[in-house]
């Protein structure tokens, strides 16, 4: 059974450009959350989607947007890239909207975005 | 914003020793989780402890939770070189129809063979 897959694995973009990151959750998982991890820091929450609806949003500017498709895969879009957007972007999936019952998130390996 | 603060931020021990990492947080929680991350890759879930639990074990891992002190600890017994990684605590709070999961800044553990 495939885990959480993210694409691409690495990406280099120029300031001002737009980027789309993709995530496929574990089969049967309906919840996808996106996190940004800057080097040396812990992951910061960006969005949670459950059943194709946005359920939560972190403290990120409107340049960040996301959506979830009928097959529960998800895209994270970032417009007008800044140097400070350089980070590891992580996708996490879970079967339920709320973590409980001893199960945490399953993370993908991430997309390393470098903005130059 | 980071909810949890891990302590210490870095820890270096010899193989076979025990490693203890602490996590403090500020608000009430529904559960607390610990994750491991190897060299900037994806995080791996280790253990989840609910707010009404005080201790949980999984293999060589032991997690305690003290909600009155808003703190948790992760103990790794008989450490191995393969345990070298960053460890993060994450607090989960149900709010506004979803569960907000907030990660700390992590403890970098080095196990020397």
Q: Under an 8 A CB cutoff, do B40 and A59 touch?
A: no
Q: Average pLDDT of A80-106?
A: 87
Handedness of CA B86, B91, B96, B98 (dihedral sign): positive
pLDDT tens-digit readout, A14-60: 999 999 999 999 998 999 999 999 998 999 999 999 989 998 899 99
Query: How far is it, in rounded angstroms, from Cα A3 to Cα A62?
Result: 30
Using a CB–CB cutoff of 8 Å, tell me whether A79 touches chain B: no
pLDDT of residue A5: 96
Using a CB–CB cutoff of 8 Å, tell me whether B33 touches chain A: yes
Q: Return the closest-CA partner of residue A102 out of B61, B56, B21.
A: B56
Using a CB–CB cutoff of 8 Å, tell me whether B26 touches chain A: no
For A54, counting Cβ atoms within 10 Å of its Cβ (0-12 exposed, 13-18 middle, 19+ buried), the class is middle
pLDDT of residue B96: 73
Angle at A57 between CA A54 and CA A60, to 5 degrees: 135
Q: Under an 8 A CB cutoff, do A99 and B33 touch?
A: yes
* Residue B51 C-alpha, separation from nearest chain A C-alpha, in angstroms: 11
Query: Biggest alpha carbon distance in chain B?
Result: 47
- Residue with the bigger pLDDT between B6 and A86: it is A86
Half-sphere exposure of B66 (CA within 13 A, CB side): 9
| Contact indicator for A26, A94 with CB cutoff of 8 Å | no
Query: How far is it, in rounded angstroms, from Cα A49 to Cα A53?
Result: 5
Provide the pLDDT confidence category of residue B1 given band limits of 50, 70 and 90. very low
Q: Return the closest-CA partner of residue B25 out of B36, B33, B17.
A: B33
Query: How far is it, in rounded angstroms, from Cα A64 to Cα A89?
Result: 12
- Residue with the bigger pLDDT between A63 and B100: it is A63
Q: Under an 8 A CB cutoff, do A43 and B103 touch?
A: yes
Query: How far is it, in rounded angstroms, from Cα B65 to Cα A30?
Result: 29
Residue B39, token pair as written in the block:
């060299």
């Amino acid at each position: 059974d495939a885990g959480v897959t993210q694409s691409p694995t690495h990406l280099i973009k120029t300031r001002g450009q737009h980027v789309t990151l993709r995530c496929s959750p574990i089969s049967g998982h309906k919840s996808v959350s996106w996190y940004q991890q800057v080097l040396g820091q812990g992951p910061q929450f960006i969005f949670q989607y459950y059943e194709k609806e946005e359920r939560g949003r972190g403290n990120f500017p409107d340049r960040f947007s996301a959506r979830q498709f009928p097959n529960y895969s998800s895209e994270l879009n970032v417009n007008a890239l800044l140097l400070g957007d350089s980070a590891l972007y992580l996708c996490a999936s879970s079967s339920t909207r709320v973590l409980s019952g001893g199960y945490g998130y399953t993370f993908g390996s991430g997309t390393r975005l470098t903005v130059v | 914003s980071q909810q949890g603060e891990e302590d210490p931020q870095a820890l270096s021990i010899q193989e076979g020793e025990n490693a203890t990492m602490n996590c403090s947080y500020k608000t009430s929680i529904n559960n607390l989780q610990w994750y491991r991350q190897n060299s900037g890759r994806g995080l791996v879930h280790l253990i989840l402890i609910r707010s009404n639990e005080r201790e949980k074990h999984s293999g060589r891992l032991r997690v305690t939770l003290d909600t009155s002190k808003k703190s948790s600890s992760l103990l790794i017994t008989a450490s191995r070189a393969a345990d070298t990684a960053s460890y993060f605590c994450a607090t989960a709070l149900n709010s506004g129809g979803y569960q907000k999961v907030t990660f700390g800044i992590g403890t970098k553990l080095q196990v020397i063979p």
